[in-house]
Structure formats: structure tokens, C-alpha cells
Structure 1
């Protein structure tokens, strides 16, 4: 019995989440949702409307099951997608502020899944991690408002899922990396930083230090292998492990253009922070929130006083013109009390007690169902990711559009890309002028001085990777058609024809990280599309 209690206590300490961490996670997820929406608006028409690269007819033909999950696919116009973006922004704001938390979380999840289902081709690992983090959070007490109100520990299967999910990501990625030779030799990170389309900010300077990159690559693989320490440790040791992983993600954000994945990774680490860390944070967090609330309350109070004076003045003018004084208005009784008194003839006690009992039973059943669903989901996540590594075989119906191998966490694994790739789309206007359709200006085969601007965004890079790797004529045709529509929607001149080229160079051909010109550049024509067709 002592051993059982000891093991149970040890498991509870490692697999429970501080409710203050859930509040911080809610705020972080809400802000990330808003940021993601803001970034997606730059390519709203191209990725999510009938006038872009994946019209609804093509979506339902290619992804018939996934398309049915998308509310965004009900209509194909930009007005509908824009309206849903506004609704998602409202829900994300409410989630971050802690207003109608459960409703805001549910609406945010539905709209996020719908957005991802509208164009599955343009998704990356960060999208999947954000979606799953929001799903686990839906089962948990996320609190209200912005202050820390309780120090209780949340012991729920969904809390276990929230802790298991990032570790599964790290472990799966580590196993796939270790199956290759490039990461073990330390050469992999040098390949990554020689790809101009990936490097950002500090990464452009870091690429000039290959020895340092070797060390960083080896350290990252070792850190991935040590990721189970996130739950095996407690107290200061766990806080240290979390800080190391968070520092690695911040380093990614400062060096690589991989979208919001590093920031989402930092947010996913919040539930691991132990109660001792939140004890130190709680005071300054609550003081900051209360200060902001006091300033906002003073402004709101001043506005309410002004409004009350205006209303009072209007009332005086109205009474002065009336024939007689109206009797003073009594405050309205609560609607629930009036209805209950009228319906029960004064016998409100028994009715309210019955209602509370029924509500209590319903709430208890809902909590039990939620725990069972969350526990089942944890098992499914473990089995699915084990199957993605080939250790377990799962039945794969033909009607299902995804498989474990297609959804596994194989970021730059087992080896990173060995070619730096960018696109040039040469368009011919109706008057015969030639333009570069993707970035604007005159067509040129030379890389821009801002080499990281090879793609309009990280989502474009991911989308075009799928278009290139799949070698699918269907995807290429819709991509070229979407370029025509994108140009015509933003320019007075219209395109008559667009020819898409893929340019690439081997990153092994030069030791200089930014050497992209010369005979090593390969140019391939993908297709020519008549825009009027």
C-alpha cells in the first residue's frame, strides 16, 4: 500500500498542471490565434477562396472528407472568409481575455479546424501543434479574466494529454533524425542554414560559423532525446529543462523562417512549469493586470459619469415639459425570480432545489464523459505516433485521407533539404509587357538581396514544397491559375499568360552560405498557363 501511494503521489506530481499555468496558456493561445489570423489575411484570397489556388470544386474533389469539416468552404467569396476571420478574431480575443472562456475556446477550435480544412496543402507542424493544444485545453479549467485566482492542481486526462503532446513531438522527431546519418555527424544544421529561403535575422550571420552550427545541431538532437525529462523531473529541475527548451525555440524564431512554430512551441511548454515557478510569477502578474484594469476602470468610470450627467439632464428637460410628474421607477426584479414566483405560485424552494439537483447530475455526467473522451484521446495519440514510426500497424481505411506516416513530426528529418529552391513566375500582360507575378517588378533570375523574401510567407514556402515534391499536374495547374487571379485582383493590367519556373541550387556545391548564383543554379519550367482559359 505504501508503494502504491508513493507511486500515485509521484505520478500526480508529474502529470498534473497548475491552474495558473492554464490561465497563462489560455492567454498565449488566444494571442497566437490572433497573430495567425493576421498573418493569414495576407494570402486570404489566394489560399481560401474560389479565386485562389484551391477553389472549392478542387478542394472537394481532392479532399472530400476534410472539405466537409470546413465552414469556410460553404461559400467561395472573400466576403465569407473575411467574415469568418472576424468571428475567429472575436473568439480569440474573448479567449485571451477570459470572457465566456469555454464558448470562446470551442468557437476558436471549430473555426481553426475549419480554416485548416479549407486548404490542407498550406499547413505546417505549427498549425497541428496549435490545433491540438487548443483541443486539450477545451477540457480543462482555463479560468476567467486575466488574474491568477487559484493555486489548485488540475488532475485530468486532458492535462496528461497537454503534457504528453509536446514530448511525443520531440521523441518522434528524435527517432526519425537518428535514423539518418546527417544529424549524427552534425552536418544537418549547416545544410539548413545554407538554404536562403529559411534563414532569418540572426541566422544570416550564424551561417558563417560552421563549427558552431555543428555543436548546435548535436545539442538539439541530444535535447530532443532528453525531452521525457519534462515530466520525469519536478521543481527547479523541471523549470530548468523547460527554460532550455524555450531558449531553443526562441533561437529558432530568431534564425529560421518557419512561421509561428517556435512561438507555439514556447506556449506548449507553459503547462510544464512547476508551482514554485508560478509562486514567483503570480504576484507581478496579478499586479500588472490590476494596474491595467485600474487605468481602464478609471477611464470607463469617467465616461459613465459623463453619460449619467447627460441622461440626467435629458430627464430634467423631459420632466419640465411633461404635464405631471411620473412615479419613480422601481428596479426590475431579476427575471428568473419573477418567472419562478409566477410559475410555482410562491413555491420556489422545491423547484429551485430540483433544478439544482438536475443540473448537478448533468454536470457530473458531462465531466465523466469528458474525462473518458480525453483519456481515450491520450491513448489514440500514443498509438498513432507509434504507428507513424512503423512500430505499430493500424488499420487504414481507404476513405481516410491521412495516415500516420503523413502526419508524423518529421521536421528536417531524417535529413534536411539539400537544395535551395525558389520560384519565378513570368507573366505576360495583355499589352505584351513581361512581369514577375509572385513578387512584382521585372522578371529576373537572380536572387533578391533579401534572400529570405524568396516566398511571400512561410505558408507559401510550405505550400510550394508540396506542389514541387508531389509533381502533381493538378496542383500545378491550380497554382498557376491562382497566380493569374491574384494578379488581376490587385492590378489594373490583366495577365494573358503565366509561365512558372523552379530555380534551385545544391547547398553542397559551395561552402559559402549565401552563394546562390553561377552555374550551380538549375532552372526548370514547371508549366505555362493561359490565364483567360
Structure 2
């Protein structure tokens, strides 16, 4: 038992200052996510957009999901929820009533993701899980408003913290990479080493950095194998019980380098920022000692200015609300710590079991009887990024409209005459990564139900923004499919009409 305790303390500890830094980063990314999503309130979250509520419930809804955003199809209602979510994220950033702010942020993020699953990606799952484990982590103890309320002796207390939540957090970060590697079971990753070649052949996600390395097949092969084996084996260094500082720093530097490289080569939205935020809480104590000395100087200056501003705008009226929850008598006999630890460990087992189920092995399948326990809090995860192989088919959209004067226009090209020439930047056709993900899901035949709603949305928005003579009377959503072959070759273009609609 003593050896187990020593192992847990060496391997699964988290420095509370590092957790506080992670809180700030996660809150900042959450605010950025809210801001990006807010530019598409009508399109993605209202009944006037691409996924009205009745279509969501009929085709993309899970019986165990809940969503406050699904209570109304008005964009004004969505705007109110977005403001509440932004307020909670700001409170979490500042560390003001941090646990409540984290819980509210988590609930509203679940609600938002459940409202439109057609635009979600793996980074959303990771952000959701960071908030979930964050509710049980002491990431309010430093660099926060709440820290000012704690006894000054807090600085003299050990900064290393071990609990079921730190175990869950570390394992969550580790298995993201292990499971994504296990799911990459195709020859593109395991033998041929062509995965990165095919990934960079997808013009929808190709970034400038990707264009620079794309012409070098041997480099791409090396990077493919380095990524695959790094994801598969590197996380296990976090479980080594000696020289944990160096192993953690190695893991953090490799993961940060990996995601910076991904962000320079592939269009992945906020995924790289979310992934970097996930490893900040793993910073070891010696590294935080170094950072903390420098952070406290800047934090002290900000605190002085904040206090001066607070005095100058102090309200003459102070309202204090004190809400207490009275536990039932049977619960009062059980220490709250044990209840919390048991809850976290139960959720950890459910989340890990769900990940095992994604490997599609009969003996590892997640039991149907427990689905509600995993899906209500959204512990479900799937890290099948470019797995088992990378898509070989690529292409771009032509939104071909016919005006009242029988003129053909391409809505994707600011009304120019449609042609089949590949745009200079296919990625540039998308407003943001949410729209890119939507267009990817738009192609799959099981999602054919979503096609007419996108078509009608585009047609309506174009006609609302243009005079009568430029309005369109019918619209076709056309996909120019380009299949990638080995050795930098492509198959002949295929023109596919995915949807046709009229006002």
C-alpha cells in the first residue's frame, strides 16, 4: 500500500499552479470558441439555419442528450445563452467563483455541442472533458480572484496535489493519443507511411506550411511514422515513476511541437489550441517554480491596478447572496471527499471503457445498460482522426444559382460565372472550421437529410442581400470530386449534384 501511494504521488500529482494556468488557457480558448460560433447564430443554431429543431430531433438526436439551446429556434434566444456562456467563461478566466463558473461553462458547452453535432470535431470532445475534470480540480488556488479569499498561508502549503481527479486528468490527456494511434490501423499509417501525403492532398485543409513540405515524399513518410509511433508510445512516459520532471517536460514539448506543426500544415480550427491547453496542467513543480517567480511580478502589477480601478468605481450598494445546500442525514455521515473521489473514479472507468469500445472489439464493447450514465454527461469520446486511413477523395463546392434573368452565378465565388477550375485556395472558401466540418459531413450519404436545408438557407440569404434582378430562382449544390492517387496523381474530376432547390 505504501509503494502504491508513493507511485501515485510521483506519477499522478499535479502542481496547483499549473492547473491554474490551464484554467486560464482553457477559459480563453472557450471564449474564442464562443466568439467564433456567435458569428453563425442564425445559420447553425436557429430554425432559419441549416439544422432546424425538428430536423435535429428527427435525424441527429440522442435520447440521452440534453440541450438548453434546443428549447427555442430563435437566434435571439441563442444569443442570450451565448452571453451567459461568455460571462461564465470570463469568470473562470478570472477565477471568480471558479467552481460554479466551470460547472456553468461545462453545462452550456454540452448544450451547445448537442444542439448541432454536424459541426463538432475531436477538439470539442477534449474541451468538454477538460471542463468536466476541471470541476473536480483545485484550479482556483492561484492566479485568481478566489485565491485572494484563501488564507495567506496558502503560499506556504505544498503545491503538489494528488486526487482521483488528477489521475483522471492525466489519463485523459494520455489516452487521447494512444487511442487515436490504435484507431489508425490502416496501411497508410502502419506500413506505407503515406498518411501525411494523402492528408496534405486534401485541399480543404491544406495550410501554407503543408504546401512547403508536400513535394518531399520521404520527409512525409518519416513524419507519418514519427507521428504514429509518437502518439502510440510517448504517453506512456507519463507513467514512469522516476525522473518524472524530465519525462513530463519531454511529453509536453513533443505534444506542443506536434500541434504547432499540425496548425501550420492543416486547417484544424481550435483543435491545436485546445490540445496545447490540455498539457499545461502537467507542467512539473520545478518548471512552475521558475514560471511562478515571473508570473507573480506581472500578476502583482495587474492586481494593484485592478484594486485601484475597483475603488474608483465601487458601488454604493452591496448585495450578498448566500446559498447553502443541506445534505440529507445519510450523506452527512459520509465525508464529502470520499463521495467526490468515488464519483470521479466511476466517471473515469466509464470514459475509459467507452474509448475501448471505439476499437470495435466484441469483448471491449461498452454495455448498452450503461449508455445513459456515459451519454448524459457526455463522457463519450472518439479519437478517430484520419483513421483508420486518410480520405483519398477531395474536392470543392460550386454553388450554382440561376438568377431571374437566367444568368448563372457561383455563390462560393461572390457571384462570378461558375466554372470547374479549382480555386487557388479551396480552404479559403470556408468562413471558419465549423463550416468546413459541416461541408465534410454534407458529403456523406447518411447525412442526405441535411442537404436541402443548406440549399434553402443559401438561397434565402443570397436573395435577402441582393436586388431583385440579381436574386436567384434556383440553386444547385455541386461537388467537384477529385480522387487522390499515389505519386502525386489524381483521377479525373467527377461532378456530383448533391442538392437542387427553388424558392
Match of 1:231 in 2: 239
Cα distance in structure 1, aligned partners of 2:272 and 2:70: 29
Query: 2:42 aligns to what?
Result: 45
> 2:481 matched to 1:504?
yes
Partner of 1:381: 351
1:258–1:458: 8 Å Cα contact kept in structure 2?
yes
1:204/1:255 contact within 8 Å kept: yes
Q: Secondary structure in 2 aligned to 1:422?
A: strand
1:216 is aligned to 2:190: no
2:292 — aligned with what?
282
- Structure 1 SS opposite 2:444: helix
C-alpha separation between the residues in 2 aligned to 1:174 and 1:70? 32
SS at match of 1:269: helix
Distance 1:397 1:121, change over 3 A: farther
Q: 1:348 corresponds to which residue?
A: none
Q: What whole-Å deviation, never above 9, does each CA across 1:259-309 have from its counterpart, x for those lacking one?
A: 1111111111122221111111111111122222334444555x45xx99x
| 1:358-397 correspondence to structure 2 within 5 Å | 365-391=335-361, 392-396=364-368
| Cα distance in 1 for residues equivalent to 2:79 and 2:429 | 27
Residue 188 of structure 1 and its aligned partner are, at CA, apart by 0.8
Question: Within 5 A, what are the aligned runs for 1:69-80?
Answer: 69-80=66-77
**Given the superposition, is the C-alpha separation of residues 275 and 425 from structure 1 closer, same or farther in structure 2, using an over 3 Å criterion?**
same
Question: Could you say what secondary structure the match of 1:69 adopts?
Answer: coil
Distance 1:182 1:221, change over 3 A: closer
The whole-number CA distance in structure 1 between the counterparts of 2:231 and 2:370 is 34
The offset of 1:34, in angstroms, is 0.6
Task: String of CA shifts for 1:410-442, please: whole Å, max 9, x gaps.
Answer: 100111111222211112234444332345321
Aligned to 2:399: 425
State how far apart, in whole Å, the 1-side matches of 2:383 and 2:236 are. 16
* Alpha-carbon separation, structure 2, partners of 1:425 and 1:73: 29
Which of 127, 130, 148 pairs up with 1:130?
127
What TM-score, normalized to structure 1? 0.82
Counterpart position of 2:386: 412
2:443 is matched with which residue? 468
- Residues 231-261 of structure 1, C-alpha deviations (whole Å, 9 max, x = no match): 3351122212211111111111122101111
**Structure 2 Cα separation of the partners of residues 177 and 209 of structure 1:** 22
User: Which structure 1 segments of 5+ residues have no match?
Assistant: 312-330, 337-354
Q: What is the CA deviation profile of residues 165-205 of structure 1, one whole-angstrom value per residue up to 9, with x for unaligned ones?
A: 12221111111224434443221111111211111132221
Do residues 434 (structure 1) and 431 (structure 2) align? no
Please, which moves more after superposition, 392-401 or 90-99? 392-401
Q: Is the 8 A contact 1:101 1:144 kept in 2?
A: no
**Residue 207 (1) aligns with residue 204 (2):** no
| Partner secondary structure for residue 387 of structure 2 | coil
| Structure 1 residue 21, shift from structure 2 partner | 1.6
Q: What TM-score do the two structures reach when normalised by structure 2? A: 0.86
Aligned length: 478
Q: Of the candidates 407, 412, 431, which is equivalent to residue 456 of structure 1?
A: 431
Shift of 1:119: 0.5
Task: Name the SS for the 2:207 alignment partner.
Answer: coil
In the alignment, does 2:99 pair up with 1:102?
yes
Structure 1 residue 99: deviation in Å?
Answer: 0.8
- Cα deviation for residue 367 of structure 1 reads 3.3
Counterpart of 2:150 in structure 1 is none
Q: Assess, with a 3 A threshold, how the Cα gap between structure 1 residues 526 and 17 changes in structure 2: closer, same or farther.
A: same
Q: d(CA) in 2 for partners of 1:415 and 1:22?
A: 35
Residue 90 (structure 1) shift = 1.0
Secondary structure of the residue aligned to 1:498 is strand
Q: Distance in 1 between matches of 2:466 and 2:348?
A: 50
| Residue 287 to residue 184, structure 1, CA distance change in 2 (3 Å) | farther
Question: Structure 1 residues 358, 399: closer, same or farther in 2, change over 3 A?
Answer: closer
Partner residue, 2:261: 251
- Residues in 2 aligned to 1:492 and 1:140: alpha-carbon distance in whole angstroms: 56
Contact 2:186 2:389 survives alignment (8 Å): no
Compared CA separation, residues 168 and 490, structure 1 to 2 (3 A): farther
Q: CA 1:511/1:482 → structure 2, altered by over 3 Å: closer, same or farther?
A: same
Shift of 1:44: 2.2
Give the 3 Å change call, closer, same or farther, for CA 438–100 of structure 1 in structure 2: farther
Alignment of 1:454-533 (within 5 A): 454-493=429-468, 494-508=471-485, 511=488, 520-530=492-502, 532=503
- Give the aligned partner of residue 316 of structure 1: none
Whole-Å separation in 1 of the counterparts to 2:333 and 2:432: 45
On the 8 A contact 1:188/1:416 being kept in 2, the answer is yes
Partner SS, residue 427 of structure 1: strand
Contact 1:30 1:92 in 2 (8 A): yes
Partners of 1:99 and 1:144 within 8 A in 2: no
The residue correspondences of 1:17-56 to structure 2 (distance < 5 A) are 17-56=14-53
CA shift in 2, pair 1:211/1:471, >3 Å: same
